[in-house]
Amino acid sequence: MSNVLQFSSKTDRLRESMNQKVAKMEELYQTIDLAVTELLAAEKEADEVEKDFNKQLRIYADTVGEENVEVGFLEYSPEIEVFLDNEGMPDIRFTTDPEQLELFPEDK
């Protein structure tokens, strides 16, 4: 009796390659799912921090005067619009009215 070596067929090699790719795709999809979950959590936290920052920025601008607000603070507020006044001096304007926002609070 002799031992016959069985060579893997093309079908077997393709099946094995596809099984490896399926395993890799599952790993990648899990990584993507985790990344999306983290991204959504970070976006939610950033939105909350931004809302608080905007409220504080309004109080700060009222306290020190809008013309004295540091430029670095303006970079982080989408509610600020910078424009030139009649004398060509930069001035800031809040694009939303806080009293109007209180009519329909989002927390309810």
The per-residue b/e assignment along 41-76, b for 16 or more CB within 10 angstroms, e otherwise, is eeeeeeeeeeeebbeebbebbeeeeeeebeeeebee
Q: Which pLDDT score is estimated for 81?
A: 82
Could you tell me if 84 and 90 are in contact, meaning their C-beta atoms sit under 8 angstroms apart?
A: yes
Provide the token pair at 68.
Answer: 């004295």
Question: What's the pTM?
Answer: 0.62
Could you tell me if 62 and 55 are in contact, meaning their C-beta atoms sit under 8 angstroms apart?
A: no
Q: Which pLDDT score is estimated for 94?
A: 81
Provide the token pair at 38.
Answer: 């983290």
Contacts of 96 (CB under 8 A, 6+ apart): 79
Q: Which pLDDT score is estimated for 60?
A: 92
Residues of the chain with pLDDT under 50: 101, 108
